[in-house]
C-alpha cells in the first residue's frame, strides 16, 4: 500500500516478488506519476496494480498488507484488511523481525537522521567484523533488500520516524538500543493537532523493550515518557541513560556547527557506549563524521558567502536551530517557506528579525501565515529564490536554505526540493 518514488517501495516489492508472493501494488498516484518506479518492476509477472485509487476488494483475502509511511491512522482499507485477518506490517519492523539481528534505532522530532548517521559512521569505522547496516527512514534504502546483507555478526542502525514506528507497534517490538532525541510539535496535520497521539507512535521505540535493553534520551523526553507510561499502565524496566551536551568533553571537535549538534553527538555517544565502544574510539569516530546531506550541509562559498543546505528543517523550531548555529550578527540570507503543517511559525519571527538581513519565502500555505509578520519577499520558484539570494549576498554573509514547512505543491517531495537547491547552487558556482 503505497509504492512511492523514493526507491524503498520498489525494493520492498521486488524482494517480496522474488520470494514468490502474489502481490497487488496499490497507490493513489497515477501510472504516469509512478512511471519511474513501475519501470523497475516490469520483469516481475506476479505483481498486479491498482493505481490512482485504492479498492476495498484488494484488501480482502490478503495474508499481509505492507503499508508505506503516512497511511492515515483511520484508513478504512487497513481496517478492512485487519478485520479480514491480514497481518499489517511496515518494512522497518518487518526487517527487524525477519533478520533477528541487534537493532540500534533513533527517533525524535529533530536530529534523528544526524544521530543515526553518527552512530552508523562510528560503528563502521571503529569496529571490525560484522556488517553495520543502515536502514529505516533512509532515502533510497529498501529495508527488505537489506535482508540479503544480513549475516551472523551483522547489526543494524535505523532511523525511525513516527510512521515507521507504527510498524513496530503492530508487531509489539522495540529495538535493543533506542535513542529518543527530542519531542516537539510536528506533523500536526497528520495527527489532528494531538501531541499525545503523535507521541504514542514515537513511544513504540521504547514501550516494548526488555530489561536488558537500553533507552538513551534527554530528561525532558523521559519525563514525557514516564507520564505516557503511567497513563497506560506500562512498566519502563529497561536501562535508561539520560543525556545532555555535557557528555561531550570540551575538546571533542565536530564538523557540524551548532550547539544542537553537540547534543546530537552526546546522544550518539551514549548509544555507542552501550555497544561496548570506548570513549577514545567514539570521539575519534565522531571527529571524522562529515554530516548528513540536507541537515546544515555546508555547500562551500560563493563570492565569500557561505552556503548551507538545511532542507530537512521542516519545522519552525528546526529553522531556529539552524539560524542560531550559523548566525554572526545580522548576516543571514534565509530561504524558507512552503506548506503549513499545523505548526505555528510565529516563534521564528524574533530570530529572523535579529539575524536575517534578507528573507525570501517560497509560496505556500505556511508562508501565508508568516509573510505579514516579517519583512520578506515571496517567490514562486526555488530558482527565483536562489537568484534573489545571490543578488544581495556579500562577503561574510551566510545563505541558509531552511524551509521550516512541508514541500507540498511546489515539489514532488522534500528530496526533490533538496536536489533542486543543490543543483541550483552548483549551477551558479560554475557560471
Distance separating alpha carbons of residues 51 and 27, to the nearest angstrom: 5
Is pLDDT at 397 greater than 70 in this prediction? yes
**Nearest residue to 201 via CA among 137, 271, 134, 292:** 137
pLDDT for 55: 98
Structure confidence at residue 59 as a pLDDT band (50, 70, 90): very high
Mean pLDDT calculated for residue range 296-318: 92
Is pLDDT at 184 greater than 60 in this prediction? yes
Q: What is the pLDDT of residues 97-142, one digit of tens each?
A: 999 999 999 999 999 999 999 999 999 998 887 899 999 988 889 9
Is pLDDT at 428 greater than 90 in this prediction? no
pLDDT for 272: 98
Q: Which domains does the chain have, with CATH numbers?
A: 8-89 (3.40.50), 92-287 (3.40.1190.10), 297-429 (3.90.190.20)
304, 318, 359, 385, 429 from 423: Cα distances, Å = 19, 23, 21, 13, 10
Structure confidence at residue 429 as a pLDDT band (50, 70, 90): low
Q: What is the pLDDT of residues 235-280, one digit of tens each?
A: 999 999 999 989 999 888 888 888 899 999 999 999 999 999 999 9
∠ CA(202), CA(204), CA(210), 5° rounding? 140
Packing angle, helices 259-274 and 279-287, rounded to 10: 140
Q: What percent of the chain has pLDDT over 90?
A: 85
C-beta of residue 54 within 8 angstroms of C-beta of residue 26: yes
Q: All 3 cell numbers of residue 19? A: 520470494
pLDDT for 230: 95
User: Left, alpha or beta for 291 (phi > 0: left; psi -120 to 50: alpha)?
Assistant: left
Is pLDDT at 360 greater than 60 in this prediction? yes
Structure confidence at residue 431 as a pLDDT band (50, 70, 90): low
The partner residues of 401 in beta bridges, in order of sequence, read 309, 335
Is pLDDT at 380 greater than 80 in this prediction? yes
C-beta of residue 309 within 8 angstroms of C-beta of residue 297: yes
pLDDT for 257: 85
Is pLDDT at 430 greater than 70 in this prediction? no
Q: What is the pLDDT of residues 193-218, one digit of tens each?
A: 999 999 999 999 999 999 999 999 99
C-beta of residue 104 within 8 angstroms of C-beta of residue 175: yes
Is pLDDT at 77 greater than 90 in this prediction? yes
pLDDT for 78: 97
Distance separating alpha carbons of residues 397 and 391, to the nearest angstrom: 12
Q: All 3 cell numbers of residue 20? A: 514468490
The pLDDT mean for the chain works out to 94
201, 300, 322 from 327: Cα distances, Å = 35, 16, 8
Amino acid at each position: 500500500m503505497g509504492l512511492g518514488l523514493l526507491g524503498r517501495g520498489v525494493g520492498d516489492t521486488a524482494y517480496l516478488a522474488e520470494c514468490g508472493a502474489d502481490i497487488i501494488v496499490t497507490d493513489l498516484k497515477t501510472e504516469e506519476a509512478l512511471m519511474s518506479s513501475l519501470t523497475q518492476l516490469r520483469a516481475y509477472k506476479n505483481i498486479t496494480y491498482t493505481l490512482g485509487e485504492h479498492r476495498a476488494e484488494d484488501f480482502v483475502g490478503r495474508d499481509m498488507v505492507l503499508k508505506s509511511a503516512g497511511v492515515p491512522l483511520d484508513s478504512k482499507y487497513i481496517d478492512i484488511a485487519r478485520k479480514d485477518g491480514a497481518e499489517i506490517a511496515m518494512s522497518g519492523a518487518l526487517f527487524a523481525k525477519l533478520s533477528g539481528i541487534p537493532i540500534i534505532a533513533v527517533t525524535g522530532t529533530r536530529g534523528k537522521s544526524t544521530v543515526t548517521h553518527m552512530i552508523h559512521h562510528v560503528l563502521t569505522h571503529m569496529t571490525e567484523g560484522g556488517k553495520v547496516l543502515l536502514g529505516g527512514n533512509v532515502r533510497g534504502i529498501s529495508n527488505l533488500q537489506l535482508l540479503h546483507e544480513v549475516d551472523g555478526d551483522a547489526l543494524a542502525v535505523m532511523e525511525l520516524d513516527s510512521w515507521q514506528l507504527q510498524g513496530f507497534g503492530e508487531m509489539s517490538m522495540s529495538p535493543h538500543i533506542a535513542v529518543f532525541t527530542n519531542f516537539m510539535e510536528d506533523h500536526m496535520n497528520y495527527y489532528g493537532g494531538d501531541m499525545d497521539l503523535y507521541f504514542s507512535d514515537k513511544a513504540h521505540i521504547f514501550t516494548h523493550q526488555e530489561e536488558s535493553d537500553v533507552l538513551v534520551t534527554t530528561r525532558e523526553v523521559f519525563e514525557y515518557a514516564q507520564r505516557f507510561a503511567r497513563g497506560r499502565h506500562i512498566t519502563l524496566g529497561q536501562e535508561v541513560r539520560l543525556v545532555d551536551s555535557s557528555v561531550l568533553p570540551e575538546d571533542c571537535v565536530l564538523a557540524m556547527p551548532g550547539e544542537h549538534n553537540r547534543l546530537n553527538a552526546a546522544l550518539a555517544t551514549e548509544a555507542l557506549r552501550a555497544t561496548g565502544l570506548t570513549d577514545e574510539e567514539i570521539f575519534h569516530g565522531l571527529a571524522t563524521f562529515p554530516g548528513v546531506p540536507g541537515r546544515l550541509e555546508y555547500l562551500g562559498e560563493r563570492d565569500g558567502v557561505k552556503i548551507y543546505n538545511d532542507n530537512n528543517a521542516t519545522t519552525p523550531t528546526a529553522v531556529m536551530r539552524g539560524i542560531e548555529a550559523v548566525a554572526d550578527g545580522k548576516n543571514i540570507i534565509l530561504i524558507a517557506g512552503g506548506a503549513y503543517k499545523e505548526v505555528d511559525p510565529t516563534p521564528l519571527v524574533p530570530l529572523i528579525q535579529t539575524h536575517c538581513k534578507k528573507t525570501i519565502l517560497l509560496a505556500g500555505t505556511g508562508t501565508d501565515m508568516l509573510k505579514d509578520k516579517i519583512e520578506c519577499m515571496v517567490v514562486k520558484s526555488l530558482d527565483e529564490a536562489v537568484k534573489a539570494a545571490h543578488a544581495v549576498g556579500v562577503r561574510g554573509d551566510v545563505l541558509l536554505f531552511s524551509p521550516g514547512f512541508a514541500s507540498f505543491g511546489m515539489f514532488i517531495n522534500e528530496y526533490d526540493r533538496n536536489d533542486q537547491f543543490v543543483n541550483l547552487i552548483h549551477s551558479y558556482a560554475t557560471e
